[in-house]
A = this chain, B = another copy of it.
Amino acid sequence: MARNKRHVEQKIKKEEIELVAMQLLKEQGYDNTSMAKIAKAAGVAPNTIYWYYENKDDVLIAVLNRVVAQAMVAVLALQNEPLKERVLKLIEQVESAGSLMTDVHSRVSHSNTVKEWHDRFHSMVEQLSISEMIRAGLDKSEAALDAKMLIYVIEGLLAHPHDLAERDLIVSQALKRIFN
């Protein structure tokens, strides 16, 4: 039952589809990226995608994982920079994914898989944010609340257009308010 080569090719094809899907989803958003569009761009028949993925939301999740991994790398590279810089980098990274994050929020109510991904992602970010708060000297009892606040401010910045300067101002203000 060995099937070596096949498995390798599988990975490659899946990766191709994922890369194409990532580009389209980032550029045109979830609703404007039909399975047919992805298929055409990947050079396969629309239903071929269904051999590799359960459904469209599954493709979305695969793409999200790539986007998040990329963003994490970019942000973790700034390990020693001040918090503000890292927050701004995070926003910049996620913003480069276009409306993908907003799309996630709107798919949460349709797809349980997406909801689970979203919840896991949120608690991960929350944990990270809380340790930042504590590391920066905040009282443990308040760190969780402040972390949530900061995350919501970031989400607000992502959901609504802001130029760089304004974004910088708002993040600065938020951090100033949190750390007195």
Contact = CB atoms under 8 A, between A and B. Distances in A.
Interface of A: 29, 31, 99, 102-103, 105-106, 109-110, 122, 142, 145-146, 148-149, 151-153, 155-157, 159-160, 169-170, 173-174, 177-178, 180
A151 B155 CA distance: 11
A173 B155 contact: no
Given A152-B153, A152-B155, A153-B153, 5 more contacts: A31-B106, A103-B106, A145-B173, A151-B156, A152-B156
Nearest to A99: B109
B110 A106 contact: no
Nearest to A173: B145
A145 B149 CA distance: 14
A159 B106 CA distance: 10
A127 to B, nearest CB: 16
A38 to B, nearest CB: 18
A173 B160 contact: no
A117 to B, nearest CB: 14
Contacts of A153: 149, 152-153, 156
A154 to B, nearest CB: 8
A35 B174 CA distance: 42
Contacts of A122: 160
A65 B142 CA distance: 37
A152 B160 CA distance: 10
A98 to B, nearest CB: 9
Q: List 8 tightest A-B contacts by C-beta distance, closest first.
A: A152-B156, A106-B106, A145-B173, A177-B177, A152-B153, A149-B174, A152-B152, A99-B109
